[in-house]
Structure 1
Amino acid sequence: MAEIVLANVSKSYGAVPVIEDVSLAIGSGEFVVFLGPSGSGKSTLLRMIAGLETIDSGTLTIGGQRCEQLPPGQRGVAMVFQNYAIYPHMTVRENMAFGLRNINLPQAEIASRVADAARILEIGALLDRRPAELSGGQRQRVAIGRAIVKEPRAFLFDEPLSNLDAALRVRTRVELAELHQRLRSTMIYVTHDQTEAMTLADRIVILNERRIEQIGTPLEVYMRPVSRFVASFVGSPAMNFLEVDVSRRGAERLVTLPSGAALPVPIDLPNDGRYELGVRPENLRVVPSGGDLVGEAVIIERLGDRTLIHVRLADGRSLTAQDSGRSNVAPGDRVALGIDRAEMHLFDASGRAWHPAQAQAVRATETA
């Protein structure tokens, strides 16, 4: 296991920057997921750690050793690719042993490592098959096994599940989580899939426009996004956004909704004025009467334990609300929606997020 530290790392292709001044410390044995949209720089950052891309400026330390100038084979990391990258003419056993033979390990040591990896991944019965005789999930296990036998200080995964079908993806995701629990190795995993990030990560690094937007546990980035980008990117279905006016009434702050309703908000803000209100579908509920917003149900998504209701407001804006799995709302119905005051988010003109918990921290600092 090894701690990985990036300090002020940057990378450009000619005049085009792809990573700008990124600093990040990944703890030994930690499972960290790089999450972001296409073009955010997450795969480039992973390949810089692996040594497959050069680092233009900044430093990379793996297990206390400076590595930015070392070739890939001397960094003590193993990479698992999206396309498996296993040799079709070799058996599973030969594929897993290939890298070890290249560094002239004794045959007994090679056999022992391959057997141990096959046991961990439960592919012992497949060792004499060739890749053409394997399913997609089995091939991915072979690729992971080839990384395990190297006994690396860290594992690097570059969207390893993207070629699998939905059911196999879920099963393999669980297997990866179990593998981390057994090995307790440092793992970095790149994905654009939020479900993979939320279910696998100890911490998520969210990248946007070549920089780190937020680092936090899955719950932190979901419940307390630092910016409108994170709030809109993390969560499925996406967070709802409404432009609102914030004003004071005595010591209380009020948010005026497009409907004209004024809601007290338990959030300290630097200024009054125009903000965006963010509320997740599970915090925008169908209520029997009254409600903070009223609109027409347009589309109903019945998901078993819950029902998602797409609601069109009078001004034409659309929101996604949540009701129980036994909801009797039908398209065309007029529905009232209640907002959970404790789970509202406000975003200023710069995109910065303000939350109730943040207000408590501000008050605590002022008191100190």
Structure 2
Amino acid sequence: MANLKQDISPRVLDDLKKRSLAGVFTYTIALCVVLFPDGYYYRNPQMSNWFLWLITGICVLRLIQLFIESKFISRPTRLNTCLFWVGVVVTGLIWGVLSAIVMVQPGEENVKLMMLVCTIGICSGGCSAFSPDLRLALVFNVFILWPSIFALATVTENFPLVSLLVMFSTYMAFMSSRQNTEYWTALNNETLLKEKTRDLEKLSNMDGLTGLYNRRFFDTAFKLAWQRALRNRQRLSLIICDIDYFKQVNDAHGHQAGDEFLRTMAHTLTQVFKRQTDIVARYGGEEFVVLIEDAGDGRAVELSERFRRQMADNRVRFEARTIRATVSLGVAEEVPAADTQRESLLARADAMLYKAKQSGRNRVAVYTD
């Protein structure tokens, strides 16, 4: 799980920021609820102004940070993470200190009650919001509650209330731990599901025998490549190759030997047509296709000849037997136009393959206008 946490930490940090957004406004609202309805602000204007400016200032800075990161920073850095941590911790500490001061003042019973309710509410919301990062949730818990606990224990010696706050703090730490486990379990399951989905998608696009792309993938790739070539006025080259007398290979050596020859052919294709943009696929049976985008003059024909020679020289060993077979290839190239269809390029390459077969096999036939 540790590796997974490290891999998806940007996602988690984004979750934390979204979860904390409501709390930024809650601080200011809660402070106004404590200071103004019962007139505490007017009885203690200097201290009230200090905390009002501190809470409002840090909340505004946190909002500015969240806005800048959402608009201009695509991936969080260590500095962004540290600033977020500092903002959360400092806000909690300021509130914790204010709560401690209010809770030990003589009189002010109504204000103390409102402060206690607001502090418990903010602590509950914060511990839940920050539970994806258990350390942050626990630090927030301590900074917002324990100044009051310490002040009540040492100044007023109100031990019943101290006991209740300690139990509440312990309970929130337990809940944060539990929510952290649930969060990461759900996130791990989501990540594993995405990985399985990607694996299934990959398998659905691959030929199980040769490891090449299958016809389904090729048809989609051909459509997209045709559109790109049409838009950019680039040449598109299509090569269809077929094993000569492959039925005889299967009849003489068995289908397992034929499968081994197909795998060897697939490997040789990927060694010859090895640009990242080259699409090599098994089209069906012993027929393979290669799609080349923006090929230079004669490149498709040159590579086809190289592949043909390598296959003619290949000796495939299978169970102490040597298998030899040649291949025939049809090559067609076109710069797509608005009035042409990609099926015409495929038909031309297929016609050239037929021509190569009719001309004696073990050769490359090229379409020319």
Q: TM-score, normalised by structure 2?
A: 0.20
Which structure is higher in strand share? 1
The structure with more radius of gyration: 2
**Which has the higher relative contact order, 1 or 2, with Cα contacts under 8 A spaced 6 or more apart?**
1
